[in-house]
Structures are given as C-alpha cells and as structure tokens.
Structure 1
Amino acid sequence: MKKLFLFGLFISIPSVAIADLSHWISPITDLSAGDTAWVMISAILVLFMTTPGLALFYGGMVRKKNVLATMAQSFAVSCLIAVLWLCFGYSLAFTPYNAFIGGTDRFFLEGLSVFTEKNMLTIYPGASTIPESVFMVFQMAFAIIAGAIITGAFAERIKFTALLLFIGLWSLLIYVPTAHWVWGIGGWLANDGVLDYAGGTVIHINAGIAGLVAAMMIGKRVGYGREIIMPHNLVLTLIGTAMLWIGWFGFNAGSALAADARAGMALATTQIATAAGALTWIIIEVLCKHKPSALGLASGAVAGLVGITPAAGFVSIQSSLFIGAITSVVCYLGVTKLKYWLRYDDSLDAFGIHGLGGIAGAVLTGVFVSSDIAGTDTTLWKQIESVLITIAFSAIGSFILLKIIDKTIGLRVAKDDERQGLDLSSHGERIE
C-alpha cells in the first residue's frame, strides 16, 4: 500500500505542476520588429560575453600550461547549460507554479512555438512584444555566463569531469530557483519588492559565492604563496575585457526587453559606471604607490560592470558614476586584502570581482534607486535581505553539491597533473 501511494504521488507531480499558459499566446501582428531585433542582438551580445569574452579574459590570466583548459571550460559550460536550459532550466525558472520554483510546462520547450496557420505565437507575459523563443535564448545566455563565471575561482586545478558535473547541477539546483525567485512570475523575492535589473544577485552574487566555496573546498594551487604565479598573456585579458564591456550593453540594456527609454538609460548608466570603475582602480593603485596597471584597468572595468548590473535601469546616470566607483573600491579591497587575510585561492578573482561586486551593486541599488526612473521602489533592507538569502542559498547548496562530487569522482586533479598543466593532462593539447 505504501509503495502504491508513493507511485501515485510521483505520477501526479507533473500534472500538478502544469499551469494554464493559454494567455501566453498572442497574434504575430502584436510583435514589435524593433523590440524583437534589439533583444535578439542583446542575446547574441550576452553569448559573446562568455565565448569569446570571458574565455579570453580568464585565459590571459592563467599560466601558459593552462590556457587551453581554461578557455575550454567556458566553451564547454556554454554547451552544457544551453542543453540543460532547453530540457529543464527555462521551464523551472520562468513558467508559473509557485513562489519558489516554476512548472514543467516548457520541459524540452514543449509548447513554445509559432502557429503559422492561425497567425499566432507564444510570448512571455513580461515580454509581450517579442517571441517567446527570443526571450528564452536571451535568458539562456544569462544562465550560461553565470556558470562560466564560477570557473575562474578554481582555475588550474579542477578535474574537467567534476567541473561539468558541478556546473550542470549548480545551474539547475541553485541558479534556476534563484532566477525564479527574482525574475519569475510570482517569485517570492520579486513579490517582496527586491530589485535586480540584470543579475546582481541572480548571477554575480550567486556565481561568486559558489566560486568562493569551491575554491576553499578544492584548496590552493600547488605552489600558491610560495611561487610567483604570473598571468600568461594580459593582451588576451584586455581583449576579453573589451568584449565583456561591449557585450554588457546587451546584458543590461537588453534587460529592458524592448528598444525603449529604459534600455537607453541602462545603456548610459552601464557606460559611465564601467569607466568610473576602471579609473577608480588605477587611481587607488597610484595612491598605494603602485604603477597603474593594465590588469587594474581590466579589473576595475569589470567591477564597474558588475556593480551597475542590478541597478542599470533603476538609477540616474549621475548615480551610476558613484556605483561604479564605490564597487571598484570594494572589489579592490577584496582582491588585494580580503583574499590574503582569509587565505583562500580565488585564482582569477571570481568572488573578489563578481561576488563582492554583486553584493555592493545590490546594496547600492537600494541606496540610489529612483522611483521616477524605476517606476517602483524598494528599501535598503529589502536589498540587503536578498543579498543575505542569495549568499546562504548558494553557499549551502554549492557546498553540498561539491561534497557529493568530491566523495564520488573527486574534485581535483593529481598534483603531478597540476604541475604538468591541465592543457596536457586533461586535454592532451598544448600551445607552443
């Protein structure tokens, strides 16, 4: 009898999770060609941020023996999460079911289509002027870069299979629920008034905390703290930074999901915050009696980009100047002080830039939000609350996943393989 009850409960779950999505169907004539074109371009720009942008950004900062492996991680994560998003991720993040998770209606993108005979198509209610397929790909690009960001925290020492298993599980079990809470229909943090325009909590805090937990669990690189570990080619890093900067306009301005005034405001605030972040970083370097470095410019620019992400469409252009500068200071202290005080090896500063930058940006959104621009309001406490919730959920969830993987297939390559370099030991390739 008990087995029969459990079987009945199991087969009933899918039917319970299916919601009425009849209101997601709209005439093709209701689409906006301009909005559709802009969000399509934005989706491409965000995909461009991961490959080649983040791949080059990270690839230039590792040692020569790990360049291919590091870049391959970004490519592999892009492929893995694209498939997982098709199968389960999109549906669980963006279809309605309850305040904590979406439903099964769009598993394998079932029902997402264009009905050409009836001149109808499916749309997402929050983006009613573009096809749902465009919205789905745009959000897929966000999920991809979130997973790829994490890889910078444990670069040069993780097993390739362990990385793919962890990122895949993290994307479905950590990223997807958080995206639903903040951006999904009926998400509980959204209902509570939390503001996250383009992913300060959902992407950057989430990924940064996961990276920090992973870096601490995997341990420091062989020779870290005893040997000089220098970037292989900062030219690649600067090229990657430029690609990230350009792609980020799709990230932030594209999050308006329309070619409208809010997109234009997000475009402007993104540019100013990025410039302010880069300049602030090298000013700090000079004040600390260092030479203004190319890596500092790159780091400051990315810090400014991360800081403005949750606020881009909610604050004034003048406020973006302060957000970029303040976030850059926070990230500088995290990278140059906090990491050494706490003695963790965040290889490429995934936590130092994305985690701390996302925290600063989310909090500063509550400080600088303009109700006239945002069309809504929030409180500083609500923003802090969302930060604390995201940190706790990502940290605990990531720890559990990593512990399971470590006990089964192991997380770290052998020391001899690490010394040889992951290019050869993991992929059988190397650059000359």
Structure 2
Amino acid sequence: MSSVLTDVPAFTGELARDSRLLAEHAEAGEAALRRLPPTPARDAAQAHTAADVHRHCRSARRRFLEMHVAAVYDAVTGDDEDHRPLTVLALEVADRFPGLVPDATRLAEERGRRQADKEGREIDQGLLFQALLAHDRTGTHLMRTLLRPTAAARRLLDDLQRTARTVLPTVTLERRDGVAHLTVHNLDCLNAEDDQLAEDMETAIDLALLDPTVRVGVLRGAPMTHPAYHGRRVFSAGLNLRHLQAGRISFAGFLMRRELGYVNKLIRGLHTGDATPREIPWIAAVDTFAIGGGTQLLLAVDWVVIAADAYLSLPAAQEGIVPGVAGLRLGRRVGGGVARQILLTGRKLWAGEPDCALLCDEVADPRDMDRAVAAAADRLDNPAVVANRAMLNLAEEPPDVFRRFVAEFAWRQVLRLYSADVLAKADGAWSRSARTAA
C-alpha cells in the first residue's frame, strides 16, 4: 500500500511544479489512508501502515519547506503587517498549497474526535510553524504581526474606555485608577487553560495595552465555586486535561497561540504601528496555587505576589508534554539544577522556600493579598519602570533567541501531543477524572 509513497518527489526548486508534485504525493497518501479503517478501529498492522504513509508524506512536506518556506509565506501574506492568527495563516497555506497542511475540512473531522482517535494532522501544522519560525525573515515578520492587536480587542476598546470594564467568557478586565485588573474565572475547572481562555486572555491583555490610561496590569484568579476551593482564589490549574483527552485543545489555536500571542505580549508589549511597542509592567497574584501554564506566566511578568500557603509546579513531564517556553526562562531564574528538578520531576515549590523566592518577589499573608497587590501596583506605576523592563527583557531574552526556541518547541510539542504515552494517558487516567490540585 505504501509503495506508491516510497520516494520523496523530485522537487527542482520551481515553486509551481513542486507544489503540484507535493499535492499529488499528498493525495496518494490520503488515498492510502482512506483504504484503512478509522484510527480507533485499526489493528497493529494497519496502524503501522498509516504511520508509514504519514512518515513518507511528512518527508515530502519537510523537503518542500526547506526549498520554499519563504515563497510559501510570501504567497499568503505579501507585505501585510496586520494581525493574522496562526489558525488563519495555516488555513490560507492549505488553500494556496494543497497537501502541505490540513485544510478546514480535515481539521473539522479531527476536532470531532478524542485525542487518541485523531489522525494527527496537526503534526503537519507543526512542520509549517517550525519552518516559518526557523527562517530568519519569515519568522521575524510572523512574530511581529502576532504582536499586533487582535480584531476582537480593537472592536471592544471603545466600550472599555467608556465603562472601564469588559467581561469575556473566562476573563474580566476592570480598570481602576490606571491599573488593569485581569481576573480569570474559568470556574468549572479551577482556571485550567483551554482554547477559550487563550482567546480571552489575549483579548484582555490587548485591551489593557491599547487603553492609554492603563499604566499597570494585574493578573489574578477569581474566587472558585469548586467544592474543594469554594470562595478561594486560584491562579491556574494548568492545562485542561479533560479538554485534551476530548481532543479540544488545539495546537495552533492554543499551544502556539499562547506562546507567540498573549504570553509574548506580556514581555514585549503590543505593536500598534508606532516605533516603540506599547508596554506596561505586569503583576501576578498567586492565591492557593499556580500549576503548569500558571507558573509559566510568572516567568513573563515583572512582579509576583504569592500567598504564604500557596505553591507552584510545572508537571508537564508527568503529563507528557513540553511546558511552553519554561525551558528557556526557568533556568535563568532558579539555576539549571533546580530547573531540572522542577521540569523533569514535577517538584513543587511552596511559598517561603528559598527556591520559590527566586520566582516570587513577595510572600503575603493570605488575608493581606489585596493590600500587597495594591502596594506592588503603586511601586511599578512609574514611566521609568517601563523603559527598564524593556531593556531587561531584551538582555535576558533577545527576540531571535526566543524565535529559534519556539521554532523547535513547535515541532517537539506537536509530536508529544500525538505520542503513544500521552495518548495512553488521555485514554486512561485523564478520561476517568479531572485534574484536582490537592
């Protein structure tokens, strides 16, 4: 069955001809897959055949991108500097270069399946993003456009300036005395991260940065309704594993969007067309715990206030995935040895521990968190803070270093999403119980 896919097409460097050859090769692979049962019904031999087909097709895609990545990007974007979400970019590439990445129809088919039952078509998006980001020119342009305001934020800005409040499905923004308070209220899952939260966080951060009267931003979790934490604020329970098990965590729309979108905007600010990005200092207030992506956010802000009974953790290795850009940022905060303990073994850091003090700037009595946050906002409300944080961030994480890291992250993360051990967990423990933070 896979003999028709033995060799990568003989690409010559001529874009139109090579595009046609790639499309024909990819269609041959699709025909082979259509002769197989759906993913969950395949026996071992059929699963091996499908993996062989995908391997041959991905070899062709990788070779095509090695020769044509800049031309692919230019054909889709031209000189456009507007914000173009990665999900939109990938679909435009699919339309312009059939067979290179999955089109809307195939992605829709995948979205209706559990993670363990998917064909793994997002892996081809990972190939594309890796190639685009690794290329100096296309990667730099792509990162710059992703730092532009989203259409949703532009649409909501007038209402925020009039009412000083914006309520999104999982995040509320309130402006008080020049401080933008972003409160996460993804209540049914202890503020775990999912596609909706990624969208709302980026919209809210954009709004805070677009509003010229905002001088400081605060990130904090809302009081919970969960019985185990009723009335207590929770910063983040990390990735929503139930959504991952159900196939509802998207690679482009969540995992890549958060790193190149709102987390990157916390560090580098918002590009609005002016010579200098619009930046403000950011404070994170950790009540109870910050797990996974919550701890990753602490590495992107300027001041962290933690309650004396709270803890931090990055359990991505136990979950089977890569913890965002923590591998780039954590070691310079806590040192390589402690970073390995946290990332490779899931070690928790409790407030008051010396190693936790390397990530958190202030430990407060849980009853005194409001006052501590307000005092931190007063300290950072200084125009010189903005200039100095920009220079610190530039020295610690130059954009090209970040770009090359995220290029590699794109490939390794998407492979982990569809690796055998992660799929086994998604089909086992994660389907039986939601994450608890006890």
Question: Could you say which TM-score interval applies, normalised by the shorter chain?
Answer: under 0.3
Structure with bigger gyration radius: 2
More helix by share: 1
Greater relative contact order (CA < 8 Å, ≥ 6 in sequence): 1
More strand, by proportion: 2
Normalising by the residue count of structure 1, what TM-score does the alignment of the two structures yield?
0.25
